Amino acid sequence: MLKFSYGNSGLSESNLEITRQIAKKAEEKLVKRNGEGSEFLGWLDLPTDYNKKEFEDILNTAEKIKSESEVLLVCGIGGSYLGARAGIEFLNGTFDRQVLFVGNSISADYLNDLIEYVKDKEVSLNVISKSGTTLEPALAFRFLRQMMEEKYGDKAGDRIYATTDAKKGVLKKLAEEKGYKTFIVPDDIGGRYSVLTPVGLLPLAVAGADLYKLMQGARNVMSNSGILEYACVRNKLAEGHKPIEVLVAFEPYLQMFTEWWKQLFGESEGKDGKGIFPASMIFSTDLHSLGQYMQDGRRLMFETVIKVTNSHNKTEVPHSNIDDSLGFLEGKTIDLVQEGARMGTEKAHVDGGVPNLLIEIDERNEETLGELIYFFEKACAISGYMMGVNPFNQPGVEEYKREMFEILRR
């Protein structure tokens, strides 16, 4: 079960007393659904109240895709791809099909390299967009649709799956015209909260993930007290002139998860001149680049570390005839070495004025992935309400789109 602790934050129970009351009021607003953006709270009860028929349809469709394709292309941006990619990389090593992501940038090189890579492979395509008009995926989908139609002719529609609005939009209309199988982006769930909907579940299922265990993990933490504590502590640290949170992991398979986390908190909190800036690092790799700044730079940040307690690989450091000054590690597991690195880094950073929070999960599997996803989603919503912002809109994103399209139309 996921555990949260803040013993190295520099905060005491008395420091948190007032902030905790604010956090409880924010949680009450969330649960009672009477705060700003409450029309987008469909994710809140999703782990216990999901559409069972749709769930089975997703699993059956995933089996069809796996039976006829070597590669599934997932075309989407932001919440339409980050959660699924984060989950797939987190669970790396258990999959029997390639799931590749496209439509999340504006790059001719990437798009053409990908089309060249799959030209001799059996392919299915999952395009994800509520409207069908978001620039990056819509542009990529033009090329991918053409590729699929040239490759499969009249049968192309049998290999294209649209995850989109239930009733309206360009993609919904096209899917009906072309006969694409469709899945629904729920009206009451925003993109960055949509991992546990068909948006994330279909790619995860194709990649081999056990969706039932994923949802079980989310259920595990629905009432986890650490959610409120995390929201409370991070807001208190921000009040104390720590406006930057760095999410840290010591496992490379968590890198895309940190990218999903950055979107979740960045889009939810960063508005009205408010918000904690979300950054991320993968240790020990980044200790050899940004580690100097973390240790001795401006004291603007705090760290939240994700620790995976148990590894499936008990690899021991081998004996060597060469003196590389590492003889003292021989016979010890790599996990033990990593834990020493984590503890040493934590002590050095705390001593250097960087508060440290810790989130522990048991191991890398679907349940712990579900725990992490729901933990951060609910904590983010509570934290946003604590700051006095609507955690479910993104007016700044709409502004850049307006300016971009104005320039492109000239």
Residue 10: CB atoms within 10 A of its CB come to: 17
What DSSP line would sit under 49-73, residue for residue?
S--HHHHHHHHHHHHHHHHH-SEEE
Catalytic residues: 267, 288, 401
DSSP 42: T
DSSP 305: E
Residue in 40, 13, 8 with CA at minimum distance from that of residue 384: 40
The whole-angstrom separation of Cα 353 and Cα 305 is: 16
What DSSP line would sit under 306-347, residue for residue?
EEE---S--PBPPP-SS--S-GGGTT-BHHHHHHHHHHHHHH
Q: Is the link from the previous residue into 284 a cis peptide, with omega within 30 of 0?
A: yes
Distances in Å between the Cα of 240 and the Cα atoms of 15, 138, 235, 279 are: 11, 43, 9, 18
* Token reading at 91: 């669970």
